[in-house]
Structure 1
């Protein structure tokens, strides 16, 4: 797999990507917004309606990877933070650094809300009136880091974040393969190996990576049409969040186990960020479990993805 940046001007970066079907893509990415005003791939029809759902997904993988590649190579903030493995992992690590009192202050209400589905714990937020099945809700609070970057600091801080968390693509290194993958599945996921750097030794960032805020409890649920609807709660900031949890109504019985539970959940989210780019995740994130709600639907729909969100059932776990 080859991923190259062919040119850059004041506003745009031109990227060439070869996807997991060896189809070549030419993309132009707005380095300020992450928008893609131009995307050409001769292997697939120009009209999305004339492509199969699988071809559309390979197209989308190329777009996600191209935006991330520009982020990692140039440091431009081209990937929404909640979809960027570097930011999601930064949140995970910042949570691990919280004192017990700080963790309870930020996540105590979330824990009580989750436990309210299983015992007599008072529910901090009542469920929206449109919820018909309480056990079908997904809790999606947003988490904010203390690294709000503005102006000229965006590129520098974003690249520092990618490098410090081992997600830099400057050096070419083979991603550790997943031993449980079948030969057929490995052939689908081999393409990006030479471009993705394996996990490197972690170093502390000079940027202040602390948790500075957590939103209220956003609640997602299937509406009457069966579509995922989110009832938004208040958020402490107006800028974008750095991670967004996606938790089913369950939590361990002991609050002392909740930090490890959130750590595993965010590892699953980092895994999902890589998988939907068509990339085998670094070994640290070869985990099985529920990460992002929309990604679990993607894994159910497309055979190209391993069913890493399912812990049991009629499947063979491919990661972890």
Structure 2
């Protein structure tokens, strides 16, 4: 994938070259709404394209939105598919103590204990589905301003101690680290004295979380969502957890699996654009529910959602230089 911005007035124009060497001419507004898309490599009617052809077109649009976000700082990415926002949510959850994890994530534990035992449910599910068949979701609100995310995430990804600590958090075979590496990195990035940096394990990076949402598909294949309670915050969340039930050994195990799940969502953001994720996000496991459906049913994707899969490509050969450097953008407020 490659892109150049060809013009900017009321719309931002781009030329995108996809992984099939097809050029796409795309125009969008500052909120990422595509106003024009021309290409000659695939039929104009989506119904006449192959599944692969449709995905090449969709990737070109996703990559174009990311490139405008990267180069100009406009909020062209939908929040659930913004890798910086999701990374910030994972960084906020990873250091939590058991007590803090229970405060923010305990309704998952209660719901799963209901499915596997005799606990009262945290949320009722519709009669038409079994509780074990639903996808359980929760929105995460991080206390960083959006304007700081690009620089912050870039600094965190470049900090070896932070990435090593994050790797230990999501690896069930290693000892769980404390939040020292995260706090030290945050102190360095913000220029504060380490003594003045709040304890990340208490959840100081988390502003709020929603209640549990229940997401399912019916016999006709139609998706439905029963929405949980939302905090009184007038902005979009940074990420949405979306997991099937499982039987964690403890609240700490649940937290670690959720952190890994969010990092897999970051992986899906990049793969959905046709480029490789940064090295720390080349993980296997369930991320975005929709991406997992594509990996399961589209034979041109590897099974990235399957922890036991053998992966043939991470699309490194299609990834532009400095593709991950969103700090280049002059963030518009």
TM-score (norm 1): 0.78
2:49 paired with 1:55: no
Question: How big is the shift at 1:266?
Answer: 0.9
Alignment of 1:1-320 (within 5 A): 1-9=1-9, 11-31=10-30, 33-131=31-129, 133-147=130-144, 156-157=147-148, 159-161=150-152, 163-164=154-155, 166=157, 204=186, 206=190, 210-236=205-231, 237-312=233-308, 316-318=310-312
1:174 aligned residue: none
Distance 2:261 2:94 in 1: 13
Contact 1:76 1:158 in 2 (8 A): no
Contact 2:80 2:238 in 1 (8 A): yes
* SS of equivalent to 2:115: coil
Question: How big is the shift at 1:316?
Answer: 3.0
Distance 1:2 1:83 in 2: 19
Question: How big is the shift at 1:119?
Answer: 2.0
Question: How big is the shift at 1:26?
Answer: 1.0
Question: How big is the shift at 1:302?
Answer: 1.5
Distance 1:7 1:115 in 2: 55
CA separation of 1:101/1:89 partners in 2, compared to 1, >3 Å: closer, same or farther? same
Question: How big is the shift at 1:157?
Answer: 3.7
Distance 2:290 2:57 in 1: 18
Q: Which runs of 5+ in 1 are unaligned?
A: 150-155, 168-201
1:186 aligned residue: none
Question: How big is the shift at 1:161?
Answer: 4.9
Contact 2:98 2:251 in 1 (8 A): no
CA separation of 1:106/1:305 partners in 2, compared to 1, >3 Å: closer, same or farther? same
TM-score (norm 2): 0.76
Distance 1:319 1:8 in 2: 35
Distance 2:311 2:114 in 1: 30
1:176 aligned residue: none
Distance 2:152 2:24 in 1: 27
| Alpha-carbon displacement from aligned partner over 1:189-209 (angstroms, at most 9, x marks no partner) | xxxxxxxxxxxxx96465x98
What count of residue pairs does the alignment treat as equivalent? 275
Q: Which runs of 5+ in 2 are unaligned?
A: 159-183, 191-197, 199-203, 315-333
Contact 1:289 1:310 in 2 (8 A): yes
Question: How big is the shift at 1:94?
Answer: 1.1
Distance 2:52 2:71 in 1: 28
Question: How big is the shift at 1:87?
Answer: 0.6
CA separation of 1:16/1:203 partners in 2, compared to 1, >3 Å: closer, same or farther? farther
Distance 1:251 1:135 in 2: 11
**CA RMSD after TM alignment:** 2.5
Contact 2:271 2:277 in 1 (8 A): yes
Contact 1:89 1:267 in 2 (8 A): yes
Distance 1:307 1:5 in 2: 33
Contact 2:92 2:206 in 1 (8 A): yes
